[in-house]
A and B are shown apart, each in its own frame.
Chain A
Amino acid sequence: MTATAGAPSSITPATPATALESFSYDDDIVREFLVATFVWGLVGMLVGLLIAFQMVEPGLNLAPWLSFGRLRPLHTNAVIFAFAGNAFFTGAYYSTQRLCKTRMFSDGLSRFHFWGWQAIIVAAAITLPLGYTQAKEYAELEWPIDIAIAIVWVAFAVNFFGTLKRRRERHLYVAIWFYIASIITVAVLHIFNNLSIPAGPFKSYSMYAGVQDAFMQWWYGHNAVAFFLTTPFLGLMYYFMPKAAERPVYSYKLSILHFWSLVFLYIWAGPHHLHYTALPEWASTLGMIFSVMLWMPSWGGMINGLLTLRGAWHKVVDDPVLKFFVVAVTAYGMSTFEGPMLSVKSVNALAHYTDWVIAHVHTGTLGWNGFMTFGMVYWLLPRLFQAPLYSKKLAEVHFWIASFGILLYVIAIYSAGVTQGLMWRAFDETGRLTYPDFIETVVKLLPMYWTRAIGGSLYIVGMFLFGWNILMTWRRRPATYDVPVVQAAPLFRESNEPEPGAHPQPAGAWARFVSMGWHRVWEGRWLVFSVWVLVAVAVASLFEIIPTFLIRSNVPTIASVKPYTPLELAGRDIYIREGCFNCHSQMIRPFRWETERFGEYSKPGESVYDHPFLWGSRRIGPDLAREAGKYPDLWHVRHMEDPRSITAKSIMPPYAQLLTNDLDFNSIQKRVDVMAMLGVPYGDAVVEGNAPKMARAQAALLGDSIAQQGGPKGLENKEIVALVAYLQRLGRDATQIPSSVAAKPAAGGSQP
């Protein structure tokens, strides 16, 4: 605290005449983040549009680095971390300074945060299309970028908490609480999910394997949604909604409840992403129960947001800002009703692996995150650029076009999800699958995919109008921005000050406890408050995660499951590089409609050597957990070269380059060594030079086998042999399929 010399450290502030401090807010940083929000939002959404069109027209997979499997993670990372991330920073830098009545702690750290974050986004935009990926959803970026993210995030945290320490308003407004929870939890999630051992400059293997890796990933994945897309934006809602409505939030009490409920409950909900998989059942049930519990506080928050407009609904009619906020909060309510519903196991059985989940996500992101951002930016534009908004009418058009776009998008994709889910489980009267060919269930969805692409296009048209409005408002800015000087009294010994207008503290420990005096102390002290948030998050995480790691009975081992051969491991890395896991699951659930179609259901012991796990979350194509022996080697070669020569209506991208790319045998030793370091029993393969030798021997056999089946010669040193070797291994160990696949005829359906 910068106490004026001689100022009494009394419990009452000194008289204003002597104690006022002058300062100004750093709005340059807010302007920078605002522009970045728009630019990356447009880029991320255009990539999304491209992959939406690739799903109806596979010819649009124009080059290896432009294929669906590589661009899909670019889309998700760009819209989450670049668009929503920069939007959060825009609002947080604007509101934190004002709520704390102080400038940011360090302008240097603010700049470092801004440029560091943009550099990370650029790095992502380069590495993901090049195929550098950890294969974990929303955590695809490879280890050097992960380290950079951690550094930039810590810089942001130091800057943010330093600002809280220097604040001139004792009470931390509820929006700040949401920011604190987001900053702390994202750091914890990011660090623990990305623990890995490097096997090259842009290649690493997850520390965890199989079930544990899946558990960590969805603990991360769900909470990334919670603490990157939900709590930061709730903070924005609690600040900008009252601003725009010009009245305080409907119930501050409800906002406190909302906050603690989310912090306590969200962290347990992750396992609902893994229902009916090889995850232990207790974990999945726990995830379901906590997810259902989340419904109530989330709706409390939604109602709180909407009722903030009490008596101000007439303003909604002519204020596009409020229009965006109303739809955003409604979308929050819809997706937080749907989320708990989807986490109920029986609903999840239908929805999992289908487009239903994609629709759910887009209600949240397009509606909640997108519209919160648009509303906030339209509110900020005149204030930041110190000129009237270029066109309110254009903002209105943006609102209506984007709203219509969302509706088209989600209705089409909900239909697609339910349709495909029902087709997968349909049996005819003779007890056989009604749609045994997977492709039938894909072709049926194409009209809905077209509608989705049109809906998405409308949303992006809205983005262009948004950009135009930003640009034209910026052009009206004054030659130099006015920087108002604000004055406020410093805080003295914050903890001893009574809350202004507070009720007297009751006597007696119990009475004080009941009166929530302790909570008021937390609210005033950022450090104590932050520590409690961290405790709530960490305790929940530890007690959910530790048992899966330490109690062996949770993952029964299967004696016949052996590590991948060096060649298969290289093939697995190609599978990861091409992003195959974005469309193909490797996890058969214990339902008859699944085992009839794909074979015996997956066991936890099968993926004990899978660093990382590749269970997948969406089946745009069929499951591959029992792919071994289903088709001859040559079938795979032809299928990779041109999927439509095998399945006329397939929407899979072609991978002809795998037949011409040389396989990098020299890198295999390093990969095997890192796997061995992680505890995978590789035996002699770790002896220097052995792994490539073993890989070459297996590749030669496989190359011969392909040539004998009438395929091209000379594939034994190409990437395709490694991938085929991997695909022909999937599920072999657990089901004990004989390894001489070459002689086996193509078996269309299920396993023996």
Chain B
Amino acid sequence: MNPVADVVGASGLHVYAEIALVIFLIVFATIVTQVLIRRQSTFDHAARLPLEDDAISPTPVSGIPTTALHAPTRQP
């Protein structure tokens, strides 16, 4: 019914699947460790993004000035 299955089944390709799994885990572990050793302060700009998006920043925090001609919307 499926000759490909016979060929692949006999070819010992499963080794590649195991290698792929190991590579996958190494890449993942690398990202995790690299993120962990970064200084928190490098993310300060990014972390504040949601808080700046509809308010006028008196002093441009990011170097990219954002302003609104009208007050954004009435608050509750």
Contacts and interface: CB of A to CB of B under 8 A. Distances in A.
Interface of A: 13, 16, 20, 22, 95, 98-99, 101, 168-171, 173-175, 238-239, 242-243, 246-249, 251-253, 256-257, 260-261, 264-265, 382-384, 386-389, 392, 482, 484-489, 491, 499-503, 513-516, 519, 523, 539-540, 543, 546-547, 549-553, 679, 681
B34 interface: yes
A726 B54 CA distance: 62
Contacts of A543: 17, 20-21, 24
A171 B37 CA distance: 20
A211 to B, nearest CB: 13
11 contacts: A253-B40, A256-B35, A261-B28, A386-B74, A487-B67, A500-B45, A500-B62, A501-B63, A513-B34, A516-B35, A543-B21
Contact of B17 (A488, A546, A552, A553): A546
B64 to A, nearest CB: 5
A485 B69 contact: yes
The 3 closest A-B pairs by CB, nearest first: A252-B43, A98-B53, A382-B76
B32 A389 contact: no
Interface string B24-50: 100110011011111110111111111
Given A500-B45, A543-B21, A552 B6 contact: yes
B8 A551 contact: yes
Interface of B: 1-2, 4-6, 8-9, 13-14, 17, 20-21, 24, 27-28, 31-32, 34-40, 42-51, 53-54, 60, 62-76
A239 B66 contact: no
Contact of B34 (A20, A238, A247, A516): A516
A20 B4 CA distance: 60
Contacts of B39: 503
A169 B52 CA distance: 11
B45 A499 contact: yes
Contacts of B50: 95, 98-99, 173, 175, 238-239, 242-243, 248
B40 A252 contact: yes
B67 A383 contact: no
Contact of B68 (A243, A247, A485, A515): A485
Nearest to B46: A171
Nearest to A679: B1
B47 to A, nearest CB: 4
Given A253-B43, A264-B28, A519-B31, A243 B14 contact: no
Nearest to A249: B47
A243 B47 CA distance: 11
Contacts of A247: 51
A539 B24 contact: yes
Contact of A386 (B17, B24, B48, B73): B73
Contacts of A502: 42
A543 B13 CA distance: 11
A550 B4 contact: yes
Contact of A487 (B1, B69, B73): B69
Given A16-B65, A519-B31, A546-B17, A553 B9 contact: yes
A484 B9 contact: no
A519 B45 CA distance: 15
A486 B68 contact: yes
A705 B2 CA distance: 39
B36 A257 contact: yes
Contacts of B32: 257, 260-261
B64 A260 contact: no
A99 B49 contact: yes
A95 B50 CA distance: 8
B51 A243 contact: yes
B72 A173 contact: no
Contacts of B47: 242, 248-249, 252
Contacts of A515: 38
Contacts of A238: 50
Nearest to A383: B73
A484 B70 contact: yes
A539 B69 contact: no
Contact of B66 (A487, A513, A546, A551): A487
Given A386-B73, A679-B1, 11 more contacts: A170-B64, A239-B50, A248-B50, A489-B64, A501-B45, A502-B42, A516-B38, A523-B46, A551-B5, A551-B8, A552-B6
Nearest to A176: B49
Contacts of A503: 39, 42
A169 B64 contact: yes
Contact of A389 (B4, B14, B42, B76): B76
B68 A550 contact: no
A286 B51 CA distance: 41
A550 B51 contact: no
Given A101-B53, A487-B66, A519-B31, A253 B4 contact: no
A513 B24 CA distance: 18
Contact of A251 (B40, B48, B68): B40
Nearest to A516: B34
B16 to A, nearest CB: 8
A102 to B, nearest CB: 11
A389 B75 CA distance: 9
A609 to B, nearest CB: 11
B9 A550 contact: yes
A264 B1 contact: no
Given A247-B51, A260-B28, A382-B74, A539 B20 contact: yes
Given A382-B74, A484-B73, A550-B4, A264 B24 contact: yes
A242 B47 CA distance: 9
A539 B67 CA distance: 43
Given A13-B63, A252-B40, A484 B72 contact: yes
B68 A552 contact: no
A252 B46 contact: yes
A401 to B, nearest CB: 21
Nearest to B28: A264
- From B2, B27, B36, B54, name the one whose CB has the most chain A CB atoms within 10 angstroms: B54
Contacts of A386: 73-74
